[in-house]
């Protein structure tokens, strides 16, 4: 089985695949001070709860935007996942993913953005924009040739709410809900909810429109698909018109695809799915 780990600034999402099937998934807070031993304690408990023997984990891959945690995860895999039959992998701009990075400085592109581009390209096989609602909201553009072109980065919804509550004297920190929110808020909570949901929905549509226009400047009829992922994607989608496809598992799927490609590039490796 393959253990995939996506380390974000706020949360770490991990999953266990057998072939193309995701058998287990966990979402935990990211603690950048966690050591390999502390990760082992946490995942020993998770494995036990879901009836997984750690010896059944035969392969491991991680994408991380937190450098210290990437090191901890690789140390965890090397020390505790003794059933692994291939070297633990960490995704970076140097990883052969099948996607060519066409930005000015490929080293600056986050591993999660590369992984999302790989999964979205496999999903559509067309030019595309992948939107990830994480601590930051990222837009990643891929050409019809499967080239990563770049994108945009915006403050996320959670940190925007934190900033609003933390930098004002009377505005509260609220929990957004999924019920329809009128644009005109008649109380403070509804006014903040409207500003967040309608405001971010409008930002998504505006940025998507600008990116589409730039990507289509050579071919107005070029097919460009849009896919969203991340914890807030389903919440914001009703407040914008540009999001048609949502895949909460996009990043984990991308990790699986990259690991599968590594076997094509290393034919002497044994299969992780005996």
Is 8 known as a binding-site position? yes
Is 12 known as a binding-site position? yes
219 an active-site residue? no
Is 107 known as a binding-site position? no
Q: Of the listed 112, 140, 190, 268, which one is catalytic?
A: 112
Those residues whose C-beta lies under 8 Å from the C-beta of residue 159, and which sit 6 or more positions away, are: 135, 136
Is 186 known as a binding-site position? no
38's enclosing H/E stretch is helix 36-49
Is 11 known as a binding-site position? yes
Spatial CA neighbour of 163 closest among 142, 135, 187: 135
Is 111 known as a binding-site position? yes
> What whole-number distance in Å separates Cα of residue 192 and Cα of residue 187?
9
42's enclosing H/E stretch is helix 36-49
Is 221 known as a binding-site position? no
Is 68 known as a binding-site position? no
Q: Which positions make up the binding site for K(+)?
A: 132
Q: Which positions make up the binding site for ATP?
A: 6-13, 135
Q: Which positions make up the binding site?
A: 6-13, 110-113, 132, 135, 188
Which residues belong to the active site?
112
């Amino acid at each position: 089985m393959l253990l995939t780990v996506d380390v974000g600034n706020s949360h770490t999402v991990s999953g266990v695949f057998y072939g193309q099937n995701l058998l287990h998934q966990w979402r935990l807070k990211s603690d950048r001070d966690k050591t390999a031993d502390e990760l082992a304690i946490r995942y020993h408990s998770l494995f036990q709860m879901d009836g997984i023997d750690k010896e059944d984990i035969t392969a491991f891959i991680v994408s991380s935007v937190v450098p210290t945690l990437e090191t901890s995860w690789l140390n965890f895999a090397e020390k505790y996942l003794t059933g692994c039959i291939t070297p633990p992998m960490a995704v970076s701009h140097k990883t052969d993913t099948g996607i060519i990075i066409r930005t000015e400085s490929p080293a600056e592109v986050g591993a999660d953005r590369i992984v999302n581009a790989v999964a979205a390209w496999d999903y559509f096989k067309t030019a595309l924009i992948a939107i990830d609602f994480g601590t930051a909201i990222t837009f990643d553009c891929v050409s019809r040739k499967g080239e990563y072109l770049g994108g945009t980065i915006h403050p996320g919804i959670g940190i925007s709410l934190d900033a609003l509550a933390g930098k004002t004297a009377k505005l509260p920190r609220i929990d957004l809900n999924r019920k329809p929110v009128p644009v005109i808020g008649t109380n403070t909570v509804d006014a903040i909810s409207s500003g967040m949901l309608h405001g971010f929905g409008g930002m998504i549509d505006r940025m998507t429109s600008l990116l589409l226009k730039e990507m289509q400047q050579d071919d107005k009829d070029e097919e460009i698909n849009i896919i969203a992922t991340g914890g807030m994607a389903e919440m914001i989608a009703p407040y914008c018109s540009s999001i048609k496809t949502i895949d909460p598992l996009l990043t984990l799927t991308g990790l699986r695809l990259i690991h599968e490609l590594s076997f094509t590039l290393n034919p002497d490796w044994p299969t992780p799915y005996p």
